[in-house]
Amino acid sequence: MHDPRVLLDPATDAVRRLARRGYALDVTALEKLLSARNAAIHRGDEARAESKRTATSVRSASPDERPALVERARELKTVVADAETEARDLDAQLQDLLMGIPNLPADDVPDGSSDDDAELIRTVGEPPVLDFAPLDHVDLAEKLGILDLPRATKLAGPRFAVLRGKGAKLERALARYFLDLAEENGYTEFSVPTLVNRETMTGTGQLPKFEQDLFKTGVADRELYLIPTAEVPLTNMHARETLAVDDLPLAYTAHTPCFRSEAGSYGRDTRGLIRMHEFSKVELVRIVEASTSRDELELLVTHAEAVLKGLGLAYRVIKLAAGDMGFSAQTTYDVEVWLPGQQKYREIASASDCGTFQARRASIRTRTADGSRGFAATLNSSAMPIGRTLVAILEQGQQRDGSVRIPEALVPYAGFEVIEPA
């Protein structure tokens, strides 16, 4: 969330910067609400000050003067109450407006709104050269007997999966491998709730704008949401807290199921494990001093890349265009893995610097040794989604005889080297 005064400061250039995201900032509405709220607060403060002076005068007034002063005190009490009510109502309207304004993109983020506008940062590893026609992951997994989509559909409908045998073991092995790498890179592992309240979803920017993308449920009289990513609970663990700058950065990781309705993506990647309603993922979150967030992003993306390097998978890193970034991000790097079955790179992870945007929403503050206060910066990255990594392993590891050789780093976790056709 933004400080409205910063958005209205010409030096911020908010209108132009938000236009790069495709968002039209209504400066008139913002100015009007801010001015009206401040005027109501000022009116209430003045009436409250006069009320105190009047109360003092009543005590020393003569009998003739006292009735008029008492009546004035009653009038001022009403003015204060009315001003407070008006200020609350206007502040609620102002907050609603601010909650819907996305983060300002960094100046070095490229213009545009699609993958075609992204900036290529680096390519790592050579895509495998296969001397046969590669299969996509669904055909491969079904021939291997490790994926059962019809039974998943019977259980829950489309965009769910059932993994069996070595497929299920590989899923478990990947989670353990990802978490071990995260720990080696200094992250503390957490086990967190996958059901959270509205305030928690609001803190990281999923609400109110993206309610249609979430699965909502309830327990007794509580409104709860299934998390779309562990970023939500990990970041909000420090909501409404003040952190000592000397204790930063904080580096957290968690392996959780993730739930997404995929509203608005009808028809996209409906076959297989690319775009699911339920999937599991290991997430990395960093909470840092605001002035260091850009350097922290460069570090974070290397932690995400470490997973793919360790698995020997070919990938590339791109910087997303302003109009293609998530709501809370000011800079995002996407990590894209090579899929022979599609003959293209596909997103497998995103690493985002949110600056102070989420910290303002969740009220995550910082305090220096000399007492100076500010807001923290938050960053997050997948490291990695289990399903999409499994897709890459199957497609890049496929052999002419229909088998799949798994990466050497996973063998100690999985207990096997090859998945043979069923």
Greatest CA span in the chain, whole angstroms? 107
Residue 372 is assigned to a ligand binding site: no
Residue 184 is assigned to a ligand binding site: no
59 is catalytic: no
* Rounded Cα gap, residues 413 and 238, in angstroms: 33
What is the number of residues in the chain? Answer: 422
* Rounded Cα gap, residues 207 and 220, in angstroms: 21
Catalytic residue among 43, 347, 365, 367: 347
* Rounded Cα gap, residues 125 and 5, in angstroms: 47
Catalytic residue among 17, 21, 260, 360: 260
Closest to 271 measured CA to CA, from 158, 347, 348: 158
350 is catalytic: yes
Catalytic residue among 275, 294, 316, 405: 275
Residue 118 is assigned to a ligand binding site: no
Cα dihedral 398→400→401→402 (10° resolution): 30
Residue 142 is assigned to a ligand binding site: no
* Rounded Cα gap, residues 31 and 49, in angstroms: 27
* Rounded Cα gap, residues 101 and 218, in angstroms: 28
Residue 230 is assigned to a ligand binding site: yes
Residue 283 is assigned to a ligand binding site: yes
Dihedral pair phi/psi, residue 105, rounded to 5°: -70, 145
275 is catalytic: yes
184 is catalytic: no
Closest to 347 measured CA to CA, from 326, 316, 305: 316
Residue 92 is assigned to a ligand binding site: no
Residue 347 is assigned to a ligand binding site: yes
Catalytic residue among 328, 350, 352, 381: 350
* Rounded Cα gap, residues 174 and 214, in angstroms: 26
Q: Give the list of residues 6+ apart from residue 130 with CB closer than 8 angstroms, or none.
A: 340, 398, 400
* Rounded Cα gap, residues 351 and 331, in angstroms: 8
DSSP of 236-290: HTTTTEEEEGGGPPEEEEEEEEEE---TT-TTSS-SSSSS-SEEEEEEEEEEEEG
260 is catalytic: yes
Residue 261 is assigned to a ligand binding site: yes
Taking a C-beta distance cutoff of 8 angstroms, is the pair 273, 174 a contact?
no
Residue 350 is assigned to a ligand binding site: yes
Residue 349 is assigned to a ligand binding site: yes
- Residue 236: count other Cβ atoms within 10 Å of its Cβ: 24
Sign of the Cα torsion 273, 275, 280, 284 reads positive
User: Which residues contribute to the annotated binding site?
Assistant: 229-231, 260-262, 283, 347-350, 382
User: Which residues contribute to the annotated binding site for L-serine?
Assistant: 229-231, 283, 382
User: Which residues contribute to the annotated binding site for ATP?
Assistant: 260-262, 347-350
User: Which residues participate in catalysis according to the annotation?
Assistant: 260, 275, 347, 350, 388
